[in-house]
Amino acid sequence: MALPEQQALLANSDDVQEETAYEPTEKVHIIVGIGEEVDDYTTPPFSWRKLWLFTGPGFLMSIAFLDPGNLEGDLQAGAIAGYSLLWLLFWATVMGLLVQLLSARLGVATGRHLAELCREEYPTWAGMLLWVMAEVALIGSDIQEVIGSAIAIKILSNGVLPLWAGVVITASDCFIFLFLENYGVRKLEALFAFLIATMAVSFAWMFGETKPDGSELALGVLVPKLSSRTIQQAVGVVGCIIMPHNVFLHSALVQSREVDRRKIGRVQEALNYFSIESAVALAISFMINLFVTTVFAKAFFGTDIANNIGLGNAGQFLQEKYGGGLLPILYIWAIGLLAAGQSSTITGTYAGQFIMGGFLNLRMKKWIRALITRSFAIIPTLIVALIFDTSEDALDVLNEWLNVLQSIQIPFALIPLLCLVAKEDLMGVFKIGPVLKVVSWLVAALVIVINGYLLVDFFSSEVKGLALTSTISVATAGYVAFIVYLVSRGFNFSMNGLYKAGE
């Protein structure tokens, strides 16, 4: 007979004929070894074979830590702040890992992903507003990713293919995604492993070519240092790590594994393996980001052009300083950037499917949903490419606006996640405890405050005129009011849990 805690966990495992992240036939089967069937509550012993079977979702999730927007933040941090912000890059990655582990925990324990749960747990108006926010964040992220990929294609074609042509080529990645998905989720994960390996080799090669200072690198990672001159880059380092669409994505990706949710031991086993593979994936992403930051720190820190480096001209500046070699560094940079852009646009398509399907409860063919999701980002990106193709400065300004756009959306992914993962009648025995709850909210508050600083700094310098200022003020009031509503809703979740526990 199941314990009350187990019943609470299983209350959400009933078969519901609604939109699901993966059909049963699409999931990776986890082999149960001899002697593992002890009881429903015991976690089976560690197995390397099982870790391999669970490996995949964390690496797909880690792509968001390596997209072109992050690479631009890395190179600017290195060029302007030198090695001094490496410690912040490390701790920002740790904070990102915490958020992603909570997302995975929600998906494994409930059998539902964050978008589905937001639709079920919030009033219709709030759910629809959260959906709009998630879609806007996804579009902003995808524009950066596609533009980054298009810049790489332009470099590799020696300028023959303009930015808009690179956008069109990048748009075709959704067909690669659909083709591989038909052959199983493991094939898709293998593609991402190849792209991550390509980034690692490319940026490690650049690291070897430029030979950054090892002692300065170690001090940068171990010794916290921050000055008023580098505060904007510090904000950018933290702001780029937590991506709203990635919080939704990871809670869905973990459902690609077959987990017997009727047994608490099996759910805990899945959480253990997903935690290990996510930590390994983000450790690799940290190293890749570190390579990029230190390369540009060595090459351009303290130079006159440090403040003028962006994705569009970074490769050319590197080539001018470190030209020659077996393969020109310009092309090494472009190959790494192309791998980052292609992989992140495919995961963006993936995330868009889950977000749209979850919030709207759409059951439609995947190619139709992928086409719709892709169109949301590709059409505005094509317009951007045609307008800004000849102006690198304009692209950098656009990138600043897109960073702000995504920063605005962060609370609308983080707050629902933290509220739901602490809800006892939803999570059962897998709800987060008081210590983890406090730490998670402190991390969320820190990220929201840091991004709030970015927003205030940006709008104070960019917004002029009474009419525009008034509009921004009204929008800000509505924005803050919705955040307060989400937090209060989470408080109500907690209070209801206490009332039920006391009955």
Residue 13 is predicted with a pLDDT of 43
Residue 309 is predicted with a pLDDT of 87
Residue 116 is predicted with a pLDDT of 93
Residue 142 is predicted with a pLDDT of 82
Confidence check: pLDDT of 364 > 50: yes
Confidence check: pLDDT of 499 > 70: no
Average pLDDT, integer, range 168-172: 80
pLDDT (tens digit per residue) in 303-314:
888 888 888 888
Residue 100 is predicted with a pLDDT of 95
Torsion, Cα 68 74 78 83, to 10 degrees, reads -160
- pLDDT bin (cut points 50, 70, 90) of residue 46 is confident
Largest CA distance in the chain: 74
pLDDT (tens digit per residue) in 419-430:
999 998 889 899
Q: How many percent of the chain have pLDDT more than 90?
A: 33
> Is 256 within 8 Å of 57 (Cβ atoms)?
yes
Residue 7 is predicted with a pLDDT of 42
Residue 366 is predicted with a pLDDT of 67
Place of tokens 């390397």: 48
Residue 11 is predicted with a pLDDT of 41
pLDDT (tens digit per residue) in 389-426:
655 566 666 766 777 777 788 889 999 999 999 998 88
Confidence check: pLDDT of 3 > 50: no
pTM equals 0.88
CA distance 19 to 357: 6
Q: How many percent of the chain have pLDDT more than 70?
A: 84
CA distance 354 to 247: 11
Average pLDDT, integer, range 239-267: 88
Residue 63 is predicted with a pLDDT of 92
Higher pLDDT, 5 or 258: 258
Within 13 Å of residue 435, how many CA atoms lie on the same side as its CB? 0
* Token reading at 423: 């809800």
Of 85-89, 248-252, 278-282, 489-493, give the lowest mean pLDDT range.
489-493
pLDDT (tens digit per residue) in 203-217:
999 998 889 988 999
Confidence check: pLDDT of 57 > 90: yes
Of 235-244, 399-408, 444-453, 468-477, give the lowest mean pLDDT range.
399-408
Confidence check: pLDDT of 12 > 70: no
On the 0-12 / 13-18 / 19+ scale of CB atoms within 10 A, 425 is: middle
pLDDT (tens digit per residue) in 445-457:
888 887 777 677 7
CB atoms within 10 A of CB 315: 23
Residue 463 is predicted with a pLDDT of 64
Give 35-85 as a DSSP string.
T--S-SSPPPPP-HHHHHHH-SHHHHHHGGGSSHHHHHHHHHHHHHHTTTT
CA distance 343 to 349: 10
